[in-house]
Chains A and B, each alone.
Chain A
Amino acid sequence: MNMGDSPVSDVAPLALSLSISSSLTLASATMAAIGRLLTELLGDERGERFALACTEAVNNAIIHAHGRDAEQIVSVSLQVSNNEITASIIDQGEGLALSERLAALPENPYESESEMPESGLGLWLIRRGADRVEYLRDATGNRLVLTLRLHS
């Protein structure tokens, strides 16, 4: 069932949790399925942006935190409560120091055509896809928490 831009009005309690190896191929297939769920839940445009934000967070974990070491595990969880959806992306890798980078993001992805980036748009897309982005770092790894209201 495709809900288009009309989000599900009576969202049942939803909780999803899974762990995958740090493989971009596996992440692609996993996030494709999660993306379909999110567009059903949030409508096309908001669902696409939130799914993209989650995908960027998972890819960041695989590439930057785990250095593409497929032995490492990335955990993804989604939870709906209090009229919000929260996605948590957790890794066991190197510190990403995302708080400072998130705070320093510009309003626009680039200022002129000559500055179009070949990389580095991921964090900007994470911020644009969610209402709130929180980065937590502890001894076990990184946790990025993305929150979006269910209704715009």
Chain B
Amino acid sequence: MDLTIRRVGDALVLRPELTRLDASVALTFKDRIGKVISEGEKHLVLDLARIDFVDSSGLGALVALLKRLGSDGSLALAALRPPVQRLLALTRLDRVFRIHETVEGAERSLASDRPA
């Protein structure tokens, strides 16, 4: 699974180069981003612009990463496509993830959250 990584301040913006976050790739996705967390990163933005399908395994991976970061870290989701937005609303996970319409919006939010 290809993952494009970009640093913005003390956060990383991660873009999985996938169109489907499903059972065929969810474990790899979780392990790959889990490795980033293991390396000490606490604030992550997931750019999901390419992903138009998520299944229960993909949702489980996102929840696992959110739990792993815990209260000391943050996991924001950005650039969700309509099918993914609708799934997060259906499962009420839109209430627990910080969601941004665009990656740029997520970056601005990160900047305003941190002291200059």
Chain A residues with a Cβ under 8 A of chain B: 24-25, 27-28, 31-32, 35, 44-45, 48-49, 52, 55-56, 59, 62-63, 108-110, 113, 116-122, 124-125, 128
Contacts and interface: CB of A to CB of B under 8 A. Distances in A.
Interface of B is mostly: helix
A62 B91 CA distance: 23
B63 A45 contact: no
Interface string B81-97: 01100110011110110
Contact of B83 (A44, A62, A109, A118): A44
8 contacts: A25-B24, A35-B53, A49-B90, A52-B53, A52-B55, A59-B57, A118-B60, A119-B57
A8 to B, nearest CB: 19
Interface of A is mostly: helix
Contacts of A117: 60, 63
B64 interface: yes
B37 interface: no
Interface residues of B, number: 27
A109 B91 contact: yes
Contact of A56 (B55, B86, B91, B96): B55
A24 to B, nearest CB: 4
Nearest to B66: A116
B63 A24 contact: no
